[in-house]
Each structure stands twice: as C-alpha cells, then as structure tokens.
Amino acid sequence: MRDDNLVERLLGGDRRALARTISKIEGEDPAVPEMIREIYPRTGRAITIGFTGPPGVGKSSIIAKLIRLYREEGKKVGVVSVDPSSPFTRGAILGDRIRLADHFLDKDVFIRSMGSRGHLGGLAGASRLAAMAMEAYGIDVILYETVGVGQGEVEVASAADTVVLCLQPGAGDAVQALKAGVMEVADVFCINKADHPQARGAAAEVRSILEIGHELDPDAPVPPIVLTRGDNGEGVEELKGEIEGHREFLRESGRMEGRRLAAMREFVLAWATNKLEKEIRERLSREDAGLMEKVREREVDPITAAETLYKEV
C-alpha cells in the first residue's frame, strides 16, 4: 500500500489507511508528527473508556460483551489493547486478538493490539496516538485495555474519560485496591466472575474502602461497583449504564474539559520527556567510552556526569 495521501484516505474512512497509520505510529516513522498535526483537529469527540486490573481478571471478555452493546446502538468501536512485551526480544503474544475474535469480521469494529515494549504505566507508548487516528477515522467509542501488571497502571487515567477497574473475588484484589495508585484513578469498579461465592463479599469490601476515600472529594460521587460475568455477559449492560452515568456527571459538573486538559498536559509532558531521554541516551552512547570511564575511575561522580549530559543535549 502506497503512503501517498495516507491521511486524506484515513479521514475519508479508509480502513487500510487507518491500519497503515497506526503501523507508522508504532514504528516511530519520521512522518508521524506531521500526520498527527493533520488529524488532531478531527479528534476529541469519541467516548473513551479505559479498562485496567490484574492479569486474568477477564478484562478482554468484558470488553467483548461491551462492544456488542455499542454495536447494537450503531456505534463504531475501536480497541487499543496492550500486552506485555518480552524485555529481551520486545515481542508480545497479543492474546487479546484471540479473546476478541468474535468481532474481527465486523467492519465497524477496529481492534489493534500492541506490545508495551517496556513502556510503563499500563499502556504502550503509541496507544494515545493510535486512538487519535481511530477518532479521525470516525470511531465513536474507544476502549483501552492496559497490560495488567499491577497498581502502577495509572497512565490510563490520562487517556480515557472513564476508567474501569476490574477485580476478581478470591484473589485478594479488594485488599490490593487499598494501595495507592490504580484505585485512585478508577471511576467505576467491576467485580468480575460474579458467580464466585466470594463475589458479593469482595464488592462489600471495596465499597467500604471507597466510602472512606470519598471523604477526600465529597463533591464527587462514590464510584459504583458492578458485578459482572465476562463469560455470559451478565451485568455488562449495567456496567455500560454506570460508564454513561459517569460521563454525564463529568459533563454536568463541568469537569470534563478540566479532565481532558489535564490528560493532554500529561501527554505533552510524557512526549517531551521521552524525546529528551532518547537524546540523552544517544549522547551517552556516543561518549560512553570517555565519560563513563571517568565515572568508573572516580574522576567524575555520577551526578556530575548526568548533569553534563543534560546540559549539553
């Protein structure tokens, strides 16, 4: 596929152009900044929902059922699903392609799996830009699914208007939710595998925790807790209703724009930080033999070496 007028074809609803654009984003093609400049004015209208939680909790199964509900409303759905990458080969299994296979033949569902490639925070470095491309293409609902590696997955809060934290009973997840990090960014809690005998107990435990935390922001509603089953879809329609309720709260309270502005600020900062880190690494690689030898010989201390790199970038 030729890349001539790629953005024009993307904006015109060319599905292959969307796939090609995201491939360029993942590959860090030099043309990406100019492409984003062209498509950015066409973004900002999609419903964005982030799903996070521990591995194996059933995020993909819930997302698959949620996609079906949105498609029944005639909405186009995009999924940005991130799997952990090997620290050695950078490869990833991308198992979500298997779990979401029921929607692959639907031309109005676009699923993109990508490896995290060492990127922390639960999302791949290319995920936000991929979502922008999906919006410009005409996607109405974008679902993010994080890597699923722990409480540090807070980056999803700067990507989605509504964050759903999925937990499962009998695995200590309710206790883990006490810890700072991912609990603090969740807008809706989902206890999956509702048929488990400890499901209602886990929901009660999370509810008691949330009521304590509510004192920090009494103007915000206590996040709702929904019991679901990813295997048969039980409770997923209720989950969708709570997601819509949270969006309505953001709009009516005037918090939506503030939330999106803060999210974009974080994205800009992350992009600039990433660029700066790459330049410093490249400089260190070029001058490693000299500078790091001086550090090893105790002629230069590590902080002075770091300051030298930073000031000369």
Share of the chain above pLDDT 90, in %: 45
- Give the span between the Cα atoms of 215 and 219, in whole angstroms: 9
> Residues 115, 82: contact at Cβ < 8 Å?
yes
Averaged pLDDT for residues 268-292: 81
Decide if pLDDT at 121 tops 50. no
Which of 111-115, 224-228, 287-291 is the least confident region? Answer: 287-291
179 pLDDT band, cuts 50/70/90, is low
Which has more pLDDT, 225 or 186? 225
Specify burial of residue 266 (Cβ count, 10 A radius: 0-12, 13-18, 19+): middle
What is the per-residue pLDDT for 217?
67
Please give the Cα distance from 283 to 260 (Å, whole number).
35
Q: 83, 113 in Cβ contact below 8 A?
A: yes
Contact by Cβ (8 Å): 138, 28: no
Q: Which of 10-14, 27-31, 185-189, 294-298 reaches the highest mean pLDDT?
A: 10-14
pTM score of the predicted model = 0.83
Q: What's the rounded mean pLDDT across residues 193-215?
A: 83
pLDDT confidence of 170, banded at 50, 70, 90? confident
Question: Over the stretch 235-257, which tens digit does the pLDDT of each residue have?
Answer: 999 999 999 999 999 999 999 99
* pLDDT exceeds 70 at position 171: no
Across residues 114-137, what is the average pLDDT? 72
Identify which of 50-64, 93-107, 138-152 has the greatest average pLDDT.
50-64
Express each pLDDT in 132-157 by its tens digit.
999 999 999 999 998 654 444 556 66
With a cut of 60, say whether residue 118 has pLDDT above it. Answer: no
More confident residue, 166 or 312: 166
- pLDDT tier at 115, thresholds 50, 70, 90: low
Q: Return the higher-pLDDT residue of 273 and 190.
A: 190
- pLDDT at position 237: 97
Name the residue with higher pLDDT: 62 or 217. Answer: 62
Q: Average pLDDT of 185-204?
A: 90
User: Mean of the pLDDT values across residues 207-226?
Assistant: 77
255-266: pLDDT as tens digits:
999 989 988 888
Specify the fold of 44-253.
Rossmann fold (3.40.50)
Number of Cβ within a 10 Å radius of residue 115: 21
DSSP for the chain, written as a single string: ---TTHHHHHHTT-HHHHHHHHHHHHTT-TTHHHHHHHHGGG-S-SEEEEEE-STTS-HHHHHHHHHHHHHHTT--EEEEEEEPPPTTT-----THHHHTGGGTT-TTEEEEEEE-TT--SSS-TTHHHHHHHHHHHT-SEEEEE----STT-GGGGGT-SEEEEEE-TTTTHHHHTTSTTGGGG-SEEEE--TTSTTHHHHHHHHHHHHHHHGGG-TTSPPPPEEE--TTT-TTHHHHHHHHHHHHHHHHHHTHHHHHHHHHHHHHHHHHHHHHHHHHHHHHHHHHHHHHHHHHHTTSS-HHHHHHHHHHH-
Class of residue 300 by CB neighbours under 10 A (exposed 0-12, middle 13-18, buried 19+):
middle
- The pLDDT assigned to 89 comes to 40
Question: What pLDDT score was predicted for residue 155?
Answer: 63
Single-letter residue type at 63: I
Give the pLDDT confidence of 28-54 residue by residue, as tens digits. 899 999 999 999 999 999 999 999 888
pLDDT value of position 90: 43
